[in-house]
Structure 1
Amino acid sequence: MYEGSVAEPQKLSFDDPVRALNVRLVNGTVNVVGTEEASARLEVSEIDGPPLIVTLKDGTLTVAYEDLPWKGFLKWLDRRGWHRSAVVSLAVPASANVEVGVVSAGAVVSGMRGRTEVRGVTGDTALVGVSGSVSAETVSGNLEAQAVTGDLRFQSVSGNLTVVEGAGSSVRADSVSGDMVIDLDAGGRPTDIRLNSVSGEVAIRLAHPTDTRVEANTTSGSVSTAFDDLRVTGQWGAKKITGTLGAGNGKLKATTVSGSIALLSRPARDNLDELDEKVL
């Protein structure tokens, strides 16, 4: 059991095991790195405004402002509380579950195997090498996921979603005006991709060869595909891309109202290896 406050730059180490992490920050930056140790380390390198409250109880490490609850986090828009900032770095067990909430703050989470949940009002979030399931909800914050292998869920009003070198089998995203760029290679496993947007543009790059059923449609936007086996129908107004790639074990469904949809082909792994050799 630990409870204290941090009002100035400080480093803390925790001997008790950490199974879950909860961080809630306004302005500044939070960095979370997964390690193979059972304990955790915290460094607050910059802080301005009210102190951060730090507690470790029943395996849950919490670093947060006292007046910033996790419940109803996305509605926390009280400008009186914005006169604060902190730069926080944490090293926690990679198996821990992580909850990060940011208001006008950047967040980076890397190397975690447990469940990761992110809530952001206006802050951008980057996920790197995360293998556990991911759930992200933002108002206008962007999410970039690189080399993420777990299932990904994203919901936003105007935030953009970018997935680079994704290897997960499931991506589900909903946005009003945010753009979505998905680069996915699940290593031959069936994938479940479901994307919905009102006015945002959608671009999906699939592995070649790939194995999925495709249904992509837009009410007034444009569509394009790099796959000859897919059909494009509709010339005025609503347009669709439909068809089956490979055995059709996976599913890709993308829907927009006025945004464009593009399906791109990722080069075969053999071609990528040859390209790497030429570059080296």
Structure 2
Amino acid sequence: MPEWSVAEPGKLTFDEPVARLRVRVVDGTVNVMGVEEGSARLEVSELEGPPLVVTQQGDTLTVSYEDLPWKDFLKWLDGGGRRRSAVVSLAVPAHTRVEVGVVGAAAVVSGIGGRTEVRGVSGDSTLVGLSGPVRAETVTGSVEAQALTGDLRFSSVSGDLTVVEAGSSSVRADSMSGSMIVDIAGSGGPADIGLNSVSGEIAIRLPHAGDARVEANSASGSVSSTFEDLRVSGQWGTKRITGRLGTGLGRLKATTVTGSIALLRRDDEDTPGTPAEPEHGPEGGPDDTSATGLDGGGASGTPDDGTNEKKVL
């Protein structure tokens, strides 16, 4: 099994095909970009602390530390005396399955068509143009997603979720106190949306000609809707938004205990962008962020001596 110990900034190009990527980094930044042609490439532009260990076993490429396992990743905390940071950029085939874990690091994943899984303790994640299924788990980090066309699953303790121009057939999200903004572009067929929060605010924007059965409930927060076909009820206690849009083939269910819920209508002439801010809803949207590009240069993924021994950059 080829293995490299990356102790300083440098580049690697991998000759063998890559179908699965696993990256785990503490502090710094991870950029993963899907490309249609060329070999998988790695660039480490900044590195502090212990070396990164890079291995390729079959079609699986792993970039991590020796003491940072993927299993129970969200329970791992970086203790005193182990200061580390890395800025890592990877270009992999667009069909690659990607698994990224970050502790205090930012993650950017773009152009991937395979399954994408992102886990973060406190780092923020940005997901752009992903067509495969996506699962994102965070403790306090936020997730910002744009132009997703695959199913999205999100869970967090206090991290926020912002989804813009989603063509996803399914968006499911659970959070304790994080806010959620979900903007459905309407290009992926009837929406299937399920959002749950204890105290976080929820805002959902649907196409002008929406097509869904709607049920939104807040135990003590406010609710509002810009759809004339939907009914807003409840003056005391639980407040609800119910009804059917279009033929009702899709599904929209949102529940919160103390947070507010706003359903917004995307006009036909709306240009791409962040959902309009509701009067009593969450604010903000993702910045325009893209993965750092990589050039084709760098050391070969095969050690110079032709063996599969560990190599220090």
Report if TM-score (shorter chain) is over 0.5. Answer: yes
Deviation at 1:236, TM superposition (A): 1.3
Q: Tell me, what secondary structure is at the counterpart of 1:74?
A: helix
Q: Is the 8 A contact 1:188 1:210 kept in 2?
A: no
In structure 2, stretches of 5+ residues that fail to align are: 272-313
Query: Shift in Å at residue 237 of structure 1?
Result: 1.7
Please identify runs of 4+ aligned residues in structure 1 that moved more than 4 A: none
The residue correspondences of 1:11-90 to structure 2 (distance < 5 A) are 11-37=11-37, 39-80=39-80, 83-90=83-90
Distance 1:21 1:230 in 2: 45
2:118 and 2:137 in contact (8 A); partners too: yes
Inter-partner Cα distance in structure 2 for 1:199 and 1:168 = 25
State the match for 1:251 in structure 2.
Answer: 251
Give a deviation string over 1:179-210, Cα, whole Å, max 9, x none.
00001123261111000000000000001101
Partner of 1:276: none
Amino acid at match of 1:2: P
CA deviations over 1:123-181 (Å, ceiling 9, x no partner):
00000111110001110010000111110000000000000111111000000000000
Any unmatched runs of 5+ in structure 1?
A: 274-280
Q: Relative to structure 2, which stretch is displaced further, 35-44 or 215-224?
A: 35-44
In 2, Cα distance between equivalents of 1:21 and 1:38: 16
Counterparts of residues 99-248 of structure 1 (less than 5 Å): 99-187=99-187, 189-248=189-248
1:79 aligned counterpart, secondary structure: coil
C-alpha displacement of 1:82: 5.1
Supply the distance in 2 between the matched residues of 1:156 and 1:188 (Cα, whole angstroms): 25
Query: What per-residue deviation string (whole Å, max 9, x for no partner) do you get for residues 96-120 of structure 1?
Result: 0000000000000000000000100
**Amino acid paired to 1:128:** V
Partner Cα distance (1:193, 1:80) in 2? 42
Per the normalisation by structure 1, the TM-score is: 0.95
Once the two structures are TM-superposed, the CA of residue 80 in structure 1 deviates from its matched residue by 3.0
> 8 Å contact 1:215–1:240 — kept in the other structure?
yes
In structure 2, the CA distance between the partners of 1:94 and 1:83, relative to structure 1 (3 Å rule), is same
Alignment correspondent of 2:281: none
Q: Which amino acid aligns with 1:244?
A: R
For 2:98, give the aligned amino acid: V
Amino acid at match of 1:186: G
Instruction: Please identify which structure carries the higher strand content.
Output: 1
Higher share of residues assigned helix = 1
Q: How does the TM-score come out when normalised to structure 2? A: 0.85
Q: What code does the residue aligned with 2:43 have?
A: E
Looking at structure 1, the residues matched to 194 and 261 of structure 2 have their Cα atoms a distance apart, in angstroms, of 13
User: C-alpha separation between the residues in 2 aligned to 1:72 and 1:231?
Assistant: 44
Matches of 1:188 and 1:57, distance apart in 2: 36
Distance 1:272 1:199, change over 3 A: closer
Amino acid at match of 1:68: L
**Distance across 2 between alignment mates of 1:24 and 1:85:** 11
8 Å contact from structure 1 (residues 110, 128) kept in 2: yes
Report if the CA contact (8 A) 1:188-1:211 is conserved.
Answer: no
Deviations 1:31-89 (A, max 9, x none): 00001136200000000000000001110000001100000000001423751000000
Residues 82 and 191 of structure 1, relative CA distance in 2, 3 Å threshold: farther
8 Å contact 1:22–1:62 — kept in the other structure? yes
Structure with the bigger RCO (C-alpha within 8 Å, sep 6+) is: 2
Aligned mates of 1:272, 1:136 — CA distance in 2: 28
Task: Say what the alpha-carbon RMSD is for the aligned residues.
Answer: 1.1
CA distance in 2 between partners of 1:166 and 1:113 (Å): 15
Instruction: Verify the 8 A CA contact 2:49 2:82 in the aligned structure 1.
Output: no
Aligned to 2:4: 4
The question of whether the paired residues in 1 share the 8 Å contact of 2:146 and 2:164 is answered with yes
